[in-house]
Structure 1
Amino acid sequence: MSRPSRPQVSRSRSMLLRAGGAIAVLALLGAGIWFWRQHQSAGAEGAFRTAPVERGNIRVAISSTGTLSATSTVTVGSQISGQVTEILVDFNDRVTRGQVLARIDPKTYEAQIAQGNAQVASARASLSQAQATQRNAALDYQRKAELVQRQLVARSDVDLAKAALDQANAQVASAQAQIQQQAAATQTTRVNLDRTVIRSPVDGVVLTRSIEPGQTVAASLQAPELFTIAEDLAQMKIELAVDEADIGQVETGQGVSFTVDAFPDRQFRGEVQQVRLAATTSNNVVTYPVVVAVDNSDGTLLPGLTVNAEIEVSRRDGVLKVANAALRFKPTDQGAAGGAAAAMPSGMRGGGTGMIDDLTAFVATLQLTPQQQAAFDADANAARARQEEMRKAMEAALQTAQRAGSGMPQGPMMVQRGGQGAGASGQMRQRMLERFQQNFATFLGTLDESQRQAVQRQLSSLSSARRVTVYRLESGKPVPVQVRLGASDGTSTEISGGVKEGDQLVTGERASAQ
């Protein structure tokens, strides 16, 4: 067998070396390109601060302060004047209805009753005397009336007898009236005598005692306050002062959580019982009283404690939320935010079907018949098609305007879609609601009354909801996305629309390194 010559081996080895060198160069070049792209992407992503879209709970609460008090507090006073001779209860004592609390010296009223009884006896004696005179006058008149028939006495004597009888009758009536008058006066004194015994009008607990034994109370102008009784400390109330800017969110039945300084490690619960209309103005600040019912069955809470309360006006569980900073971000460079797409009104990007998608999600929760579902699908598809045509027309108008250098086009279409922004007027929102009602008229016609009302409420909520544009970071660039805002706790806000959990929304731009 013959062996290859040395020149052939050398040529093969040199070709392999050249091929290996070329491969190495290409590998290095590819690695350099990859590293450059990664550096560019990292640099672009590092140019923005972001916040993730998270799923969680949002609790909207109104903070206020107030004071705990008994549900019903009764002030016990005295209707008569006199010296307090005895006090039978003290602070914190439990009392029952009708229980004697204190006594006032009754001697004055006992003497007045004795005097009244004597006057009544005297009036009765006068009545007996008047009745005797009346009987005598009656007999005298009767005799003279018979004699005048036989003309044995003068007619004038009969008239005098009749006048004497009338006078006797009047004296009897006067004596009877005097008896009634003296009896009534005596009864008034008996009532005042009974008032010398101070009794509890309710079952409850003595909160305050304002008198001491031997003290004289005077009730000439108004009843002096002797005791304050809390009717039932198992049920208490808080009267909160809520600012006028927040009172519109407060409704009866909302939950209230509160703390008191006496028990800083405990949190108590209550419920809004009443929103009163009696506004109070102090230092040009208008507040409204809100009454909160509190269960105090264990007797922990005490009247008069200062309360720091939060009224839970809204709670959303398991919703998408994002930091509020993402809602305020606006890119300084329109080219970095999607160019023409960023300049387009947010309602027009992605087909402008945000409200339709939200309505579709709501309708899915209703128990629709196949006929109703088919009617909704037909109306929704037709509405999407109309909005897609509007979007394409807007894009064409925008491109024409940009080529001409005139910026955003103005016109009826622009004004109409602008109504979905945060600054949309009530009139625009009303027109939007009417348009959606027209678009889904066939579907609404298939619903019963309760279903129709539910869909109408949802349409009203969607049309009045605030919609803003946020910027999602994609491949190192902020891409505009329209979202609908919901509840906010001041730090995070509920959002829905073209975002999902885990998306990174731009909250700001980082300062470039020098």
Structure 2
Amino acid sequence: MSEAVSKQPKRSRRGLILFVVIVLALIALVVVHLLTQKKPARGAAPLVVTVASATLGSMPVTLSELGTVTPVATVTVLPQLSGYLTEVGYHEGEEVKKGQFLAQIDPRQYEIDKQQAEATLAKDRASLAQARSDLARFTQLNERKSIAEQTFTDQQFLVQQDEAAVKVDLANIAQFDLDLAYCRITAPVAGKVGLRLVDPGNYVTASSTTGIVVITTVKPTTVQFTVPQDALASVVQRLNAGATLPVTAYSSDNSKQIATGTLYAVSNQMATSTGTVTLRATFANDDEALFPNEFVNIKLLVDTMENAVLVPTPAVQSGAPGDYVYLVNADNSVSVHKVTLGPSDGRNTVILSGLSAGNVVVTDGTDRLNDGAKIRPRSRAAAAGGASGASAAAGGASGASGAAAGAGGSAAHGQHRHGHGASGPAAASAASVDAAS
């Protein structure tokens, strides 16, 4: 009987140990299952973004450069001889025509010199007439062998000398006529005169570098500007094809358009220090809006791209992949799409490759996106309408809050009711934004 009693506790101990092992195994299984099971992923809310479709259109290819207004002619009128300035025949800043009287130098000394030259001419002509008369008589005597041959030959030379003296006198008279013409200073070109540089009564000389006045041609005028060597080929190609390239001048701050003209000249050399070529455009400048030596901004229309793929400029991004856009897929997800960019006018940008007309791209909200993100698209027009609706909803919410403050219930139940009422306009505002999107 003692043996049976001793066997029963052993069996009870084994059963307890087995039970504990089973419980621990179950606990271990539960722990492993909890640690290894995946947590259910919460679906991320789609991001509301603005989208637009790529379209076909025309894009002007322009070059924007800084230019300088360069007059067609700038002439410093210098005196051709010396003398006292007796008269000035122009008003400062006025327009003058070519050949118009400008100033007068005292001509009396040159008139006297001309009179002396005329007297010398008369004397030399008389000597020439006498020499010719003697030559005619010597010719008859020489035919009869009545005089020496040397006397006849000397008379021939004397006539030639007197003829040369008469020619010298005529040249002197012509020179004095020219001096008298130089005494009357006229405008060599048409244009606008500047401020007077010399007053009447001053003695001017032919070696003077100051001049009498400066004349600048302002109508028409030109603008010089430079283009980089990479853009020169397209410009020259268009010019060689006979195209007229329009040029538009803007103010230095690009706030307004000043004048329009055409490109007419390209320099024959490139500046090696800058890698640029100088071009010149002509402008009628009838309103004198372009002032000499003024700095202006120039836009040269080189060509116009037709049927080009256009997207709004904000859609174009730059980063590690290069130039790219966020392309909207059929399942309302976005993918990074590399593109090759063309010219841009600021509002739209040409896509040379990577997109086709009809593709939808994200234009606003790109800073929150990544490849594969889910979106809720809205058009640009809807975004503008949503913004105005949101502002109206904000005004309604402020009105509701003002009404709630006016009601002013003191009971706790009343306050609780007003609190729910205040949340109503906010919910309505959110609903209006979602509806707009």
> Aligning the two structures, in what range does the TM-score lie when normalised by the shorter sequence?
0.5 to 0.7
Paired with 2:98 and 2:366, the residues of 1 have a C-alpha distance of 66
**2:114·2:173 contact (CA, 8 Å) conserved in 1?**
yes
User: CA 1:479–1:140 in 2, change beyond 3 Å: closer, same or farther?
Assistant: closer
**Residue identity in the other structure for 1:189:** F
Correspondence for 1:321: 311
Post-superposition CA distance 1:63-98 (Å, at most 9, x none): 322222444444433333333221101222232333
Deviation for aligned residue 1:484: 6.0
Paired with 2:318 and 2:107, the residues of 1 have a C-alpha distance of 78
Correspondence for 1:218: 205
Paired with 1:58 and 1:141, the residues of 2 have a C-alpha distance of 97
Alignment partner for residue 488 of structure 1, among 338, 344, 352? 344
Alignment partner for residue 278 of structure 2, among 289, 298, 307? 289
1:241 aligns with 2:239: no
1:274 aligns with 2:265: yes
Deviation for aligned residue 1:197: 1.0
Deviation for aligned residue 1:299: 3.7
Deviation for aligned residue 1:105: 1.7
Paired with 2:130 and 2:303, the residues of 1 have a C-alpha distance of 86
Correspondence for 1:306: 295
**Residue identity in the other structure for 1:289:** T
Post-superposition CA distance 1:143-168 (Å, at most 9, x none): 5x3xxxxxxxxxxxx5x522222222
**1:51·1:326 contact (CA, 8 Å) conserved in 2?**
no
Post-superposition CA distance 1:18-51 (Å, at most 9, x none): xxxxxxxxxxxxxxxxxx99x62636x68xx886
Correspondence for 2:387: none
Paired with 1:40 and 1:319, the residues of 2 have a C-alpha distance of 36
Residue correspondence of structure 1 range 31-430 to structure 2 within 5 A = 40=43, 42=45, 52-55=52-55, 60-138=61-139, 140-141=141-142, 145=145, 161-207=148-194, 209-220=196-207, 225-231=211-217, 233=219, 235-250=220-235, 253-260=244-251, 265=256, 267-280=258-271, 284-315=273-304, 319-323=309-313, 326=316, 328=318
**1:79·1:223 contact (CA, 8 Å) conserved in 2?**
no
**2:309·2:356 contact (CA, 8 Å) conserved in 1?**
no
User: Which consecutive unaligned segments of at least 5 residues does structure 1 have?
Assistant: 1-35, 146-157, 332-421, 423-467
What secondary structure does 1:277 align onto? strand
User: Which consecutive unaligned segments of at least 5 residues does structure 2 have?
Assistant: 1-39, 372-437
Post-superposition CA distance 1:212-270 (Å, at most 9, x none): 222333325x886433334462x322112334454445455333333336995554333
Q: How many residues align?
A: 320
Paired with 2:142 and 2:257, the residues of 1 have a C-alpha distance of 95
What secondary structure does 2:275 align onto? strand
**Residue identity in the other structure for 1:40:** G
**1:472·1:503 contact (CA, 8 Å) conserved in 2?**
yes
Paired with 2:261 and 2:142, the residues of 1 have a C-alpha distance of 86
User: If the length of structure 2 is used for normalisation, what is the TM-score?
Assistant: 0.59
Deviation for aligned residue 1:182: 1.5
How well do the aligned residues superpose, as a CA RMSD in angstroms?
A: 4.1
**Residue identity in the other structure for 2:327:** R
**Residue identity in the other structure for 2:311:** K
Residue correspondence of structure 1 range 466-481 to structure 2 within 5 A = 472-474=327-329, 475=331, 477-479=333-335
- Larger CA Rg, structure 1 vs 2: 2
Paired with 1:245 and 1:315, the residues of 2 have a C-alpha distance of 18
**1:68·1:236 contact (CA, 8 Å) conserved in 2?**
yes
Paired with 2:45 and 2:253, the residues of 1 have a C-alpha distance of 54
User: CA 1:279–1:211 in 2, change beyond 3 Å: closer, same or farther?
Assistant: farther
User: CA 1:328–1:491 in 2, change beyond 3 Å: closer, same or farther?
Assistant: farther
Post-superposition CA distance 1:110-163 (Å, at most 9, x none): 1221221122122123224434543554455455x3xxxxxxxxxxxx5x5222
Paired with 1:61 and 1:185, the residues of 2 have a C-alpha distance of 61
Residue correspondence of structure 1 range 423-442 to structure 2 within 5 A = none
**Residue identity in the other structure for 2:285:** N
**Residue identity in the other structure for 1:493:** T
**1:106·1:193 contact (CA, 8 Å) conserved in 2?**
yes
Post-superposition CA distance 1:389-426 (Å, at most 9, x none): xxxxxxxxxxxxxxxxxxxxxxxxxxxxxxxxx9xxxx
Paired with 1:471 and 1:303, the residues of 2 have a C-alpha distance of 49
Paired with 2:231 and 2:318, the residues of 1 have a C-alpha distance of 23
**Residue identity in the other structure for 1:500:** G
Paired with 1:84 and 1:262, the residues of 2 have a C-alpha distance of 45
What secondary structure does 1:42 align onto? coil
User: CA 1:117–1:141 in 2, change beyond 3 Å: closer, same or farther?
Assistant: same
Of all paired residues, the percent bearing the same amino acid is 26
Paired with 2:166 and 2:261, the residues of 1 have a C-alpha distance of 61
Paired with 2:213 and 2:165, the residues of 1 have a C-alpha distance of 40
Paired with 2:334 and 2:221, the residues of 1 have a C-alpha distance of 55
User: CA 1:500–1:125 in 2, change beyond 3 Å: closer, same or farther?
Assistant: same
Paired with 1:62 and 1:209, the residues of 2 have a C-alpha distance of 40
**Residue identity in the other structure for 2:310:** L
Paired with 1:246 and 1:301, the residues of 2 have a C-alpha distance of 26
User: CA 1:329–1:491 in 2, change beyond 3 Å: closer, same or farther?
Assistant: farther
What secondary structure does 1:291 align onto? strand
**1:137·1:161 contact (CA, 8 Å) conserved in 2?**
no
**1:208·1:229 contact (CA, 8 Å) conserved in 2?**
no
Deviation for aligned residue 1:509: 6.5
**1:85·1:214 contact (CA, 8 Å) conserved in 2?**
yes
Paired with 1:185 and 1:480, the residues of 2 have a C-alpha distance of 89
Deviation for aligned residue 1:175: 1.6
What secondary structure does 1:297 align onto? coil
User: CA 1:315–1:208 in 2, change beyond 3 Å: closer, same or farther?
Assistant: farther
**Residue identity in the other structure for 2:225:** L
Paired with 1:194 and 1:137, the residues of 2 have a C-alpha distance of 45
User: CA 1:243–1:170 in 2, change beyond 3 Å: closer, same or farther?
Assistant: same
User: If the length of structure 1 is used for normalisation, what is the TM-score?
Assistant: 0.52
